[in-house]
Amino acid sequence: MDKLQIQGGIPLEGEVRVSGAKNATLPIIAAALLADDPVTIGNVPHLHDVTTMIELLGRMGVSVTIDEHMKIEIDPSTIRDYVAPYELVKTMRASILVLGPLVARFGAADVSLPGGCAIGARPVNIHVAGLQAMGADISIEGGYIRARAGRLKGARLVLDTVTVTGTENLLMAAVLADGETVLENAAREPEVVDLANFLIAMGARIQGAGTDKIIVQGVKKLHGTQYEVLPGSNRRWDLFGRGCHDRRQCTHQARLPGPSRCSG
């Protein structure tokens, strides 16, 4: 195709459903590994990184079904492997998000480093140090983070730098830990709040998500739930701006994230 010819002059008007945010969807899919029962996740965007995360869970033996509306049902009870291989991690760095859930729920994880090399000063050192402080035995071998643990223990974790994926990984690990975990210098992004709300919907006890101090009271297990992912902010405001520009009524169906509150 050499060009697109667009005939303008028609005002925009109508109702649009805003699909979920990728950065909220990926940790929520990973967090489904923590549940004892199937989890249903709706408003999932049809994006390459999302399908890669689904493929990663499938490689582990997790049962994943997707309907025509991109609603996903995840049943982690069928898992048979705890490896996130390099060929998938290299295409999506967010694959590191399975580390915390695997260690917390199953006591084992072999997750490739994003670059497939020694850890060095890579940001994943915050993930590793946090899990070690909670009692995990971790080594770096052949470009993989190899973690083993019994039940993790609650701890006070002060993150060296603000990191969204680091906050998410340690938050997911903490929900099944024995005792209280305090995350200080935590990321405050909306996707962290959405992840916390998803975990709370499964029975987690979390306070403070959306602030720089998150407090988690560990529970023994999490149950299944149905959840709708936070809408993508860029897409939402793009549509809102176009509607305002045309001075027409445009309705956007979108759930905005609220503050997380402890469920118990």
* Catalytically annotated residues: 117
| 205 and 177 Cβ atoms separated by less than 8 Å | no
Rounded to an integer, what distance in angstroms lies between the CA atom of residue 99 and that of residue 109?
6
Which residue spans within 23-141 are E strands per DSSP? 39-42, 63-66, 72-75, 83-84, 108-112, 137-141
Strands, sheet with 63-66, edge to edge from the N-terminal-most edge strand: 63-66, 72-75, 39-42, 226-228
How many CA atoms lie within 13 Å of 263's alpha carbon, on the beta-carbon side? 15
